[in-house]
Amino acid sequence: MNMRHGRYLFILTFLLPPVGIYAIYMLSPYVQAIYISMTDWSGLTAAQTFIGFDNYVEMWNDDQLHKALWNNLILVLVVPVLTLLLGLFFASMLNVGGRSRGGAVTGVRGSSIYKVVYFFPQVLSVAIIGIVFKYVFAPENAGGILNRVLGAVGLDGLQRLWLAEPDYLIWIIVLVMTWSFVGFYVVLFSAAMQAIPRDIYEAALLDGSSRLTTFRKVTVPLVWDTVQVGWVYMAIQAMDGFATVHIMLGINGGVQGAGDVLGVAMYREAFAEADFGYAAAIGVLMLVLTMVAAILFMRGLRRERVELA
Amino acid sequence: MTTTQSPPRVSGDGGSPRRGGRRDRMPGVGAGEKAVGLINGGFLLLWGLITALPLLWAILSSFKTNGEFRVDPLGLPSGVQVDNFSRAWSAANIGQYFLNSVIVVSISLTLTMLFGAMGAYVLARYDFPGNRFLYYLFVGGLVLPVFLALVPMFFVVRNLGSLPVVGQFLGLNSYLSLALVYVAFSMPFTVFFLTAFFRTLPTSVAEAGIMDGCSHFSLFWKVMLPMARPGMISLALFNFLGHWNQYVLPLVIMQDGDKRVLAQGLGTLAATTGFRADWTALFAGLVIALLPVLIVYIVFQKQVQAGLTAGVLK
């Protein structure tokens, strides 16, 4: 066959650029990270000594890192749960929440407009989202609209210097991240719900099943595969939080470092404290946590599915 | 067949007799059900407002004077302060950041789509030793968190900068470096998605091309790549948004103030805005950064939603 001629030349030419760039800029950093995490490298000079697991021991004793780790756990536990509940709720409202006069199950009116609006945060840069919410929660004399709104509706008592209260910080981050995630999952779950045959709903309706029962016994089980995938993806996303915290609270994680997360701690150690070895060790910790979270989240829902089936 | 067999959807005029008789027992039409429907609609509207209002507020703020912003942040602007946008564009350097973003994303998007398509095509349609290995090498990158790579990536880029000849284009603070980093980090998903896409294309067309004496190269450029256009478009949208909005990678590569890209530049601007007491310029900058994304989203709304959610499902 004449195609044989030059076949390997072709394969090689086509593979070299993508594989080369991927190997240099993405794979090699990951491989190096593990080694760097076992050195005391400052990053400023070439001098680096192999110190074994010292950086990992240091993490064990680092109170600020514990704070960051704790905050990451809050993010990874709370954000996906909130996002999942709100996402499923709104998606089912949009797609099967309507009832036409004859009793048919339909989407509500204007559902496509809702989807466009809900989804919009997903296409925005986290930088923009962070900036907008920095001002939503700002003090009243610096444009803080939340306090303004509270004042306008007579809830002055609830006004706070939101970003100056250490106890609030991570919960504000939870709210902002949930806000930006929900729309994506509404659209994702909507696509799955659109695929459910309408007859099933009509049968459930004729059996006199309530909305809540229909939601629990029909909608949720039938979109479960999508929920499972989305749920794991949420866990990985929630592990991040870097840009939101970095922009809203700054490189130290806000007042008393109370809103610190691992990503920000890592960036700070590397580029502000010139401790690249330690930063790389935090990176390795993040990898392990992400993997563990992904596996646990996968397990968590799989068990539930058996129960429902 | 009796009338009861007609699908309920078309019975909006009151339904068939039998249906009408059972109506009161059906949860779909009771008065209580109507109330539930209203409450549900209320929730949907509420979330719509929670989503839209902060962004609308940000856009309105970009039209205000700084005085209006401080005294009456919830009010409507008295006029459109075009000056906010010119201050943002020049004094706050957003114009430079915008240009930087355009340059970097033009390079990175072109190379990502080109190299991604080339790699995926070969992996999808040619059998050779190591094919599966390379495929999983790419796809495995999907699960790696970007943070682990940040520190060493900084040094990889810095060291490439000291290479002879090519070094001047590849060091830190270089458009090409940042673009290549974007390309690398986009490869896992791009190759994954396009490999699946190229596999679905019919072999008959490729065979016809071979009969006509196409070389491997011209078969790709003239036959396969044009056929892959739908997949390429949704993936290009996905990558455009990812590259344009990227925040953490440029933070590491573009440390020099004049080379910052938009998202990064806005973040720095936001950090100093309080001291400069120029909030409206910040929001004008934010609107400038938001416009390209907004246009892409409005024009390609369906493809963007489909493209981004496909990322999870595939």
The residue segments making up the domain with residue A291 are 62-308
At residue B30 the predicted structure's pLDDT band, cuts being 50, 70 and 90, is: low
Residue B268 to residue A163: CA distance in whole angstroms: 18
pTM for the model stands at: 0.85
Q: In chain B, positions 77-106, which contact chain A (CB-CB < 8 Å)?
A: none
On whether residue A8 sits in a domain, the answer given is no
| B287 interface with A at CB cutoff 8 Å | no
On whether residue A174 sits in a domain, the answer given is yes
CA A267 from chain centre, in angstroms, equals 18
For chain A, give the percent of residues with pLDDT over 70: 92
At residue A197 the predicted structure's pLDDT band, cuts being 50, 70 and 90, is: confident
For chain B, give the percent of residues with pLDDT over 90: 37
Which pLDDT score is estimated for A98? 65
Distance from CA of A175 to the nearest CA of B (A): 11
At residue B32 the predicted structure's pLDDT band, cuts being 50, 70 and 90, is: low
**CA B224 → CA A18, B35, B183, B203, distances in Å?**
18, 55, 22, 10
Domain boundaries, chain B: 93-277
Most confident option among A57-71, A134-148, A164-178, B102-116: B102-116
On whether residue A162 sits in a domain, the answer given is yes
The average pLDDT across B124-146 equals 90
Q: In chain B, positions 228-247, which contact chain A (CB-CB < 8 Å)?
A: 241, 244-247
| B38 interface with A at CB cutoff 8 Å | no
On whether residue A258 sits in a domain, the answer given is yes
The yes-or-no verdict on residue B6 having pLDDT over 70 is no
On whether residue A40 sits in a domain, the answer given is no
Question: How many domains does chain A contain in total?
Answer: 1
- Residue recorded with tokens 């091309």: B209
On whether residue A91 sits in a domain, the answer given is yes
Task: CATH number of the domain at A286, please.
Answer: 1.10.3720.10
Distance from CA of A154 to the nearest CA of B (A): 15
Least confident of A239-253, B22-36, B46-60: B22-36
| B128 interface with A at CB cutoff 8 Å | yes
| A231 interface with B at CB cutoff 8 Å | no
Which candidate from A118, A149, A209 shows the least CB-CB separation from B51? A118
ipTM of the complex: 0.84
User: Token pair of B242, please?
Assistant: 């990812």
The average pLDDT across B76-98 equals 87
The average pLDDT across B135-162 equals 88
Has domain B93-277 been given CATH number 1.50.10.10? no
Per the CB < 8 A criterion, the answer to whether A80 and A69 are in contact is no
Which candidate from A118, A242, A286 shows the least CB-CB separation from B248? A242
Which pLDDT score is estimated for B253? 93
